[in-house]
Amino acid sequence: MSISIHQIEFATPEYDDVVRLRYDVLRRPLGLDFTPEQLATEYAQIHLAAYDEAGRLVGYLNLTTVDDDTVQMRQVAVAPTQQSRGVGTELVRHSEWLAQQAGFQRIILHAREPAVPFYTRLDYMIVGEPFEEVTIQHRHMEKTLGARS
């Protein structure tokens, strides 16, 4: 499958689409919703959306600046019909490239326990003990980015 990844802007129709995707994939299964306050904190984040060749939204992730060297990958969501087809891998690789170009040296993330093998395959390392977030087990993971090319 061929996908294209685009940076989208906060508070646009494209952003509304990714909020719906994130709700369907990440929140609804846990009985959770997004509050307006939670979404309002995303105005300064980098939003990446993946689209298939027909222009349909198939995935999303965002990057949040932690400090001058570190960015946090958050809210990685792939449409259920598109999982295990490389969408997540392409999103992560693109986000790593983008973070590297912006001068970040490290990406951190909180992976849901079932997603840990996915991130491990992409060279993310588990750091510390499991913890609970949004009612389920997570692992802190991180990856050091290579030199900027």
Asked whether the beta carbons of 47 and 60 are under 8 A apart, the reply is yes
Asked whether the beta carbons of 129 and 147 are under 8 A apart, the reply is no
Integer Cα distance of 98 and 101 in angstroms? 5
Closest CA to 59 of 19, 99, 91: 91
Integer Cα distance of 88 and 129 in angstroms? 24
Instruction: Write phi, then psi, for 75 (nearest 5 degrees).
Output: 55, 40
Residue 135 has what pLDDT? 87
The CATH number given to 3-144 is 3.40.630.30
Residue 149 has what pLDDT? 45
pLDDT tens series, the chain, 149 aa:
689 999 999 999 999 999 999 999 999 999 899 999 999 999 999 999 999 999 999 999 999 999 999 999 999 999 999 999 999 999 999 999 999 999 999 999 999 999 999 999 999 999 999 999 888 999 999 999 975 44
Integer Cα distance of 146 and 105 in angstroms? 7
Domain-by-domain residue ranges, the chain? Answer: 3-144
Asked whether the beta carbons of 18 and 68 are under 8 A apart, the reply is no
Closest CA to 75 of 19, 141, 12: 19
How many Cβ atoms are within 10 Å of 58's Cβ, its own excluded? 24
